[in-house]
Amino acid sequence: MKLNGAQILVQSLKNEAVEYIFGYPGGAVLHIYDALDAQNDIKHVLVRHEQGAAHAADGYARASGKVGVVLVTSGPGITNAVTGIATAYMDSIPMVIISGQVPSALIGNDAFQEVDAVGITRSCVKHNFLIKDINQVSITIKKAFYIASTGRPGPVLIDIPKDITIKKITKPVYADTIKMRSYHPVVNSDDMQIDKAVALIIKSKQPIVYAGGGCVIGNAHQQLRDFTRQLGLPITQTLMGLGAYPATDKLSLGMLGMHGTYEANMAMHDADCVIAAGSRFDDRVTANIEKFCPNAKIIHIDIDPASIGKNIAVDVSIVGEVSLVLAALSHALKDKKTADISAWWMQIDRWRSVDSLAYQTQAGVIKPQSVIEALYTLTKGEAIVTSDVGQHQMWAAQYYQFDEPRRWINSGGLGTMGFGLPAAMGAKLACPHRDVACVTGEGSIQMMTQELSTMLQYHTPVKIVNLNNGYLGMVRQWQEFFYEKRYAMSYMDALPDFVKLSEGYGHIGIKVEKPEDLKPALIEAFAQKQRTVFLDIMTDPSENVFPMIPSGAGHHEMLLAGRDKMESNNDSGLNLV
């Protein structure tokens, strides 16, 4: 039987066990849509904007651990998707994007809806392909999934000209396995490096584990838990690592970095040995590099050699799959005597008693932190929580205690407002039996509200928790602190009526204005199992995120809520974003 390129492409996707495609049609991909329509194995989710497609596929990938798949047309289809691709790239999320291209003969002619998709996406994908030959369709798909999901995962784009989807061949070949001479992701680490790490760890009197997104992406939560508990080490996690180690466990110090806890940042500052596991020393985490971990030996475990030594010089670098490396460390440390760290724990407990996440309540005012706490209590910590970007994101990270991986889904690296809602939709499709909440702000949600329509069509009931402070709060906070309260463009006049908006999209909207209405509204929302509910919660417009390490400061120079007044005359700090 003769198959056209589109049919071969769809069959190749089936071979990869693709369950969902998030996409949007257009001229260049009509043959692919035609082929999709002729089968039932792969379900297609018709989003309302291509950025939404990429974020939804991303949310699906983060919740499930599988590769997210996106299908968009040429020109504006792919350019719309770029923000979503870059978001996935920055957080190392496995994704395959198929973009239609104008027919091969027209490439380079400024044809209708032509853009150089491969060129535009080059710097925000792990790899990309332009298919030039119908015989390359199946092998390219195979390669794309292999590259996207192995090593340090990331998005891979396949640009396919329309003529290739139309052309027919007999007997297409589908490869089972793939070998590439130029791509060999590292798996196993070097034993010598393990020995060096062990030598540092057993001597350390003030150790700390600093775990990151790599432990979630690499499904290393069990090995991380075993390793940490075996030695009774204090552990802090990045924004991306939350859930890899249980937040409610006694060894957990919470998140570190710009808005991390006092105990986590102080422990980092005073540590004599830092074990970085799948974390990349991002500038939000290190704060001022010159003041970072002044006394510590640093062991860095990462699958990407380029991550190691990029921001921070390390003492022992271990390139490898973090689950295997941690298991190897646990094994190597089994019969070893380690230094006594009880004095270190006493110090950490003193820092803990500062209670840096305490906040002041005020009669009649809904504190955003209390909303997250109520959400946590009601869902018993078992919901998947996605978030947008801003203050609400930080509060969600600080006050929802994630005990399991893949429950906290947010854009950390790119910080993309608009991510939360489509990601929630993708997560709900990946985990239909789990409650999914999207914590957002009135600014962020407006970047992707059109996906409410998709959510109705595909029946993905999600609870939207809009912390409506009437401000681009994170921007306002910086302006309050660093721009002498000149609130340039951080206030939006004429916000929509979110209740009516969600009703207009066929969902339920509830406005919450008083603290006493919060809990009943949340209960009502989650009782509506089959419906998407938009909770528009009026929160304290003046609340700020604390603790905070101001730009230019070190981990030990945090500002605490109600205790420190922010006065910045430090212009050099403003160089940082």
Partner 1 sequence: MRHVISILLENEAGALSRVAGLFSARGFNIESLTVAATNDPTLSRMTIVSIGDDYIIEQIVKQLNKLIDVVEVVDLTATEHIERELLLLKIDIDQNTQADIDEQIDLFSAKIIDISEDFYILELGGKSQKINDFLKALSAFKVLEVSRTGVTGICQKR
Ligand X SMILES: Cc1cc2nc3c(=O)[nH]c(=O)nc-3n(C[C@H](O)[C@H](O)[C@H](O)COP(=O)(O)OP(=O)(O)OC[C@H]3O[C@@H](n4cnc5c(N)ncnc54)[C@H](O)[C@@H]3O)c2cc1C
Q: Which residues are catalytic?
A: 50, 112-113, 162, 474
CB of 432 to ligand X, least distance (A): 26
Q: Is 205 left (phi over 0), alpha (psi -120 to 50) or beta?
A: alpha
Site membership for partner 1, residue 304 (CB under 8 A): yes
Q: For residue 221, give the H/E element and its range.
A: helix 221-231
- Find which of ligand X, Mg ion, partner 1, none residue 469 binds, CB within 5 to 8 Å per kind: Mg ion
* Structural tokens at position 23: 């996409």
What single-letter DSSP state applies at residue 445? G
Site membership for ligand X, residue 435 (CB under 6 A): no
- Find which of ligand TPP, partner 1, Mg ion, none residue 526 binds, CB within 5 to 8 Å per kind: none
User: Nearer to ligand X by C-beta: 57 or 88?
Assistant: 88
List CB contacts of 398: < 8 A, sequence separation 6 or more.
254, 255, 259, 261, 357, 369, 372, 545
CB of 566 to ligand X, least distance (A): 16
Q: How far apart are CA 387 and CA 368, in angstroms?
A: 14
User: Nearer to Mg ion by C-beta: 83 or 469?
Assistant: 469
CB count in 10 Å sphere of residue 230? 15
CB count in 10 Å sphere of residue 66? 18
547 closest CA partner among 263, 293, 306: 263
User: Nearer to ligand X by C-beta: 21 or 318?
Assistant: 318
Alpha-helical segments (H) within 38-159: 50-64, 76-90, 117-121, 137-149
Site membership for ligand TPP, residue 475 (CB under 6 A): yes
Binding map of ligand X across residues 378-397, x = CB under 6 A, - = no contact:
-----------x---x----
Select the residue whose beta carbon is closest to ligand X and give its number.
213
Residue with tokens 């724990």: 345
- Find which of Mg ion, ligand TPP, partner 1, none residue 119 binds, CB within 5 to 8 Å per kind: partner 1
Binding map of ligand X across residues 511-540, x = CB under 6 A, - = no contact:
------------------------------
Site membership for partner 1, residue 305 (CB under 8 A): yes
CB count in 10 Å sphere of residue 215? 30
Site membership for Mg ion, residue 368 (CB under 5 A): no
Contact 460, 532 (CB under 8 A): yes
User: Longest Cα pair distance anywhere in the chain, in angstroms?
Assistant: 75
Q: Candidates 97-105, 123-131, 252-260, 555-563 — which segment interacts with ligand X by CB under 6 A?
A: 252-260
Contact 241, 266 (CB under 8 A): no
User: Nearer to ligand X by C-beta: 103 or 415?
Assistant: 415
Site membership for ligand X, residue 126 (CB under 6 A): no
Residues in binding contact with ligand X, number by CB under 6 A: 36
Question: Looking at 140, 391, 398, 449, which residue binds ligand TPP (CB under 6 A)?
Answer: 391
SS3 (DSSP) at 452: helix
Site membership for ligand TPP, residue 471 (CB under 6 A): yes
- Find which of ligand X, partner 1, Mg ion, none residue 441 binds, CB within 5 to 8 Å per kind: Mg ion
| Number of DSSP helices (H) and strands (E) in the chain, helices first | 21, 20
The single-letter code of the amino acid at 68 is G
User: Nearer to ligand X by C-beta: 17 or 576?
Assistant: 576
User: Nearer to partner 1 by C-beta: 309 or 415?
Assistant: 309
DSSP assignments along 7-54, one per residue: HHHHHHHHHTT--EEEE---GGGHHHHHHHHT-SSSEEEE-SSHHHHH
- Find which of partner 1, Mg ion, ligand X, none residue 257 binds, CB within 5 to 8 Å per kind: ligand X
Residue with tokens 């989807």: 165
User: Nearer to ligand X by C-beta: 207 or 473?
Assistant: 473
Q: How far apart are CA 40 and CA 141, in angstroms?
A: 19
Q: How far apart are CA 98 and CA 161, in angstroms?
A: 11
Site membership for partner 1, residue 182 (CB under 8 A): yes
Return the HEC string of 385-399.
EEECCCHHHHHHHHH
Q: Candidates 109-117, 257-265, 345-353, 554-562 — which segment interacts with ligand X by CB under 6 A?
A: 257-265
Q: How far apart are CA 43 and CA 47, in angstroms?
A: 13
Question: Looking at 441, 547, 550, 554, which residue binds Mg ion (CB under 5 A)?
Answer: 441
- Find which of Mg ion, partner 1, ligand TPP, none residue 415 binds, CB within 5 to 8 Å per kind: ligand TPP
User: Nearer to ligand TPP by C-beta: 376 or 471?
Assistant: 471
Q: Candidates 157-165, 197-205, 278-286, 420-428 — which segment interacts with ligand X by CB under 6 A?
A: 278-286
- Find which of Mg ion, ligand TPP, ligand X, none residue 214 binds, CB within 5 to 8 Å per kind: ligand X
User: Nearer to ligand TPP by C-beta: 197 or 438?
Assistant: 438
Rounded (10°) CA dihedral 322, 323, 326, 328: -110
Q: Candidates 126-134, 253-261, 369-377, 464-472 — which segment interacts with Mg ion by CB under 5 A?
A: 464-472
Question: Looking at 474, 501, 522, 558, which residue binds ligand TPP (CB under 6 A)?
Answer: 474
Site membership for Mg ion, residue 469 (CB under 5 A): yes
Site membership for ligand X, residue 263 (CB under 6 A): no
Return the HEC string of 147-186.
HHHCCCCCEEEEEEEHHHHHCEEECCCCCCCCCCCCCCCC
SS3 (DSSP) at 227: helix
- Find which of ligand TPP, ligand X, Mg ion, none residue 263 binds, CB within 5 to 8 Å per kind: none
Q: Candidates 194-202, 306-314, 439-447, 505-513 — which segment interacts with partner 1 by CB under 8 A?
A: 306-314
Give the burial string for 268-304 (b: 16+ CB within 10 Å, else e).
bbbbbbbbbbbbbbbebbbbbeebbbeebbbbbbbbb
Question: Looking at 291, 310, 434, 556, which residue binds partner 1 (CB under 8 A)?
Answer: 310
Question: Looking at 39, 109, 112, 119, which residue binds partner 1 (CB under 8 A)?
Answer: 119
Which residues here bind partner 1, judged by CB under 8 A? Answer: 118-119, 122-123, 126-128, 130, 147, 180-183, 304-306, 309-310
Which residues here bind ligand TPP, judged by CB under 6 A? Answer: 388-392, 415-418, 441-444, 467, 469, 471-475
